[in-house]
Amino acid sequence: MTSIAAPSLLPSTEPAYPLLDSIVTPGDIRHLTSARLNQLAVEIRALLIEKVTVSGGHLGPNLGVVELTLAVHRVFGVESGDTVLFDTGHQSYVHKLLTGRRDGFDTLRQAGGLSGYPARSESRHDWVENSHASTALSYADGMAKAHQLSGDTGRVVAVIGDGALTGGLAWEALNNLGAAPERPVVVVLNDNGRSYAPTVGAMATHLAELRAAGRGASGRNLFTELGFSYLGPVDGHDTAALEEALSRACDLRRPVVVHALTVKGRGHPPAEADEADRMHAVGPAAPARAPGATRPSWTGEFSRALLALGSDRADLVAITAAMGGPTGLGPFAARFPERYFDVGIAEQHAVTSAAGLAMGGLHPVVAIYATFLNRAFDQVLLDVALHRLPVTFVLDRAGITGPDGPSHHGMWDPTLLSAVPGMRLAVPRDAAQLRELLGEAAAWREGPTALRFPRATAGGDIPAVYRDGPVDVLSVSGTRDVLLVSHGPLAGACLEAAATLKAQGIGVTVCDPRWVLPISPELLRLAAGHRLVVTVEDGLRTNGMGSVLAGVLRDSAITTPSYALGLPTAFLRHASRDQLLADTGLTPHRIVHAVLRARAGRALPHHARTSVPDGTRP
């Protein structure tokens, strides 16, 4: 397929997307001729480029699965009782276009608009909302078992990328699927040689061998050894060839792998040539900024801090789970390639491998999105902490992440980590503190440490008035009415709230614990010297850091009442970070309101209106 023209180059006398605009359900594409299908593919790519480069979102993955998605929807359908599962939800934009959501692309990833991932509330064609990779095969195994027990003849199809096959959960599912020839599941392997980064490990080598051998070649094949029939490799941009393979897979009535070869970013030269995966996901179009107006991101600040630390510490090693670039490890990898390890989409392995590195005398830094740490909690608890190993976890995208929605908000890690004995957790308020705290974490030898920061700009440094042990006092007043305990980047909001309260005659001290776990004696002394304590955190309000502090205050017989401000225990919809912080009460105005309510002895409001529905299918 040749590269497409930009939408503005399509004939101006016709609707920009005449064929695509006529598609309301997948059934509308099943009788299209080959020429019309090719036209539809061109229109889909043009629309994706037009809309996603404006709204932001996952561009490269969706450009690569246009023909694949067309073929899947021409062979399978919900009206036939079929279940189509997309492993990594960010490759579902084409699926959304074919299932009646064309108009929603003007609101993609915006508050109240179309989700950037499958959403059960949007369509009966969406089954799985979790956008974490390597899960679809396990869903498929369970769905196939349910069909067998109920006598349902619908077919189960799982579309999974080669990068997702580096995840251990995918192999647990393959082990079960291949051993059940009576349960027909079609595994569509979308092989483009990458996830976010190039696929790594022995599986990548084996897929390369299958690609080189070509269709119909005999020889070593891991899928057939596991009990699957294998069809391919098939050109993933040839709809007719894909349909033929998928139809053959259905006729076999047993577990089948259809191996489709695709090109990430297909049809858009900048995305096809994007070896650094900058067009895997693109940000929304933004107005031009004045020179020097752009502040560095938290990720960028961490990247520079780690590189400097690695230059001084030969024992420092870095680990990523297929996200080296997005977590800021790229410069470290370039400078110290022998001390950098990409384990693929395998967070559990990343953590336990880090434990092994620590046992060998090194200090591993595991850089990972906060939401993905959930997948490796057992390994953090029993493989690292139980052995009191010095492993540092750097949690990017912590707290509210914004338009990626409920599966990507990094809300859960403080609550999870608070249950880990010996865990030390730091939340830097600015870039200077990030550098200092990362150095302290790397120097700690008695057990695990963690740092968390949001997907945002780092802002300016906030100096302390004075430091008491690990606690920085950021603002003081003549009277000690209220102690505002700020966690990390919310320090600015707390200082603004304190200024407003002081103007009303209320004495406020603002402090930053720096290390929020464990609770320090210095923080307890500060709390004991005030009439009210209010904690502010970008994590769960229930069982979060505020709850931990309240419990320690009770255990220490300190009677100062303590109130926690934070995120509700709910799955928050996609919206901008600023909007969600406002909705959940974490802005200066809302902090002031909460403090006044607490001083009056009234219950704090429970901000949860941004939670998603109960998950029932429409």
* Number of Cβ atoms within 10 Å of the Cβ of 188: 32
Q: Which residues, in sequence order, are CB contacts of 145 under 8 Å at separation 6+? A: 183
Annotate 81-141 with three-state secondary structure.
CCEEEECCHHHCHHHHHHCCCHHHHHHCCCCCCCCCCCCCCCCCCCCCCCCCCCCHHHHHH
Nearest to 161 by CA among 132, 122, 129: 132
The catalytic position among 51, 96, 183, 264 is 264
Q: Tell me, what DSSP letter sits at residue 284?
A: P
The catalytic position among 347, 424, 429, 541 is 347
**Does residue 232 sit in helix, strand or coil?**
strand
Q: Determine phi and psi for 481, rounding to 5 degrees.
A: -80, -50
Q: Is 385 annotated as a binding residue?
A: no
The catalytic position among 51, 74, 109, 375 is 375
How far is residue 194 CA from its own chain's centroid?
Answer: 17
Q: Report the alpha-carbon distance of residue 409 to residue 92 in Å, rounded.
A: 19
Q: Is 244 annotated as a binding residue?
A: no
C-alpha radius of gyration, the chain, whole number: 26
Q: Report the alpha-carbon distance of residue 486 to residue 232 in Å, rounded.
A: 56
Cis-peptide, bond into residue 18, ω within 30° of zero: no
Q: Is 603 annotated as a binding residue?
A: no
Q: Is 133 annotated as a binding residue?
A: yes
Q: Is 276 annotated as a binding residue?
A: no
Is 375 tagged catalytic?
yes
Is 573 tagged catalytic?
no
Q: Is 274 annotated as a binding residue?
A: no
* The length of the chain, given as a count of residues: 618
Q: Report the alpha-carbon distance of residue 319 to residue 211 in Å, rounded.
A: 29
Residue 398 one-letter amino acid = A
Q: Is 496 annotated as a binding residue?
A: no
Pairing of strands 281-282, 363-369: unpaired
Is 347 tagged catalytic?
yes
Phi-psi label, residue 505: left if phi above 0, alpha if psi -120 to 50, beta otherwise: left
DSSP characters for 482-546? EEEEE-GGGHHHHHHHHHHHHHTT--EEEEE-SEEESPPHHHHHHHHTSSEEEEEEEEESTTSHH
Which residue reads 């909302």 in tokens? Answer: 129
Q: Which residues, in sequence order, are CB contacts of 33 under 8 Å at separation 6+? A: none
How far is residue 219 CA from its own chain's centroid?
Answer: 38
**Buried/exposed 212-241: b ≥16 CB within 10 Å, e otherwise:** eeeeeeeeebbbeebbbbbbbbbbbbbbeb
Q: Is 512 annotated as a binding residue?
A: no
Which residue reads 């008035």 in tokens? Answer: 465
Q: Is 419 annotated as a binding residue?
A: no
Residue 154 one-letter amino acid = G
State the DSSP H helix or E strand holding residue 443, giving kind and residue range, or none if neither.
Answer: helix 431-443
State the DSSP H helix or E strand holding residue 581, giving kind and residue range, or none if neither.
Answer: helix 577-583
Nearest to 604 by CA among 612, 613, 616, 595: 595
How far is residue 415 CA from its own chain's centroid?
Answer: 18
Strand partners, 375: none
Are 415 and 472 within 8 A, CB to CB? no
End-to-end CA distance of the chain: 37
Q: Is 268 annotated as a binding residue?
A: yes
Are 149 and 167 within 8 A, CB to CB? no
The residues annotated as belonging to the active site are 264, 347, 375
Binding site, by residue number, is 90, 131-133, 162-164, 192, 268, 347
Binding site for Mg(2+), by residue number, is 162, 192
Binding site for thiamine diphosphate, by residue number, is 90, 131-133, 163-164, 192, 268, 347
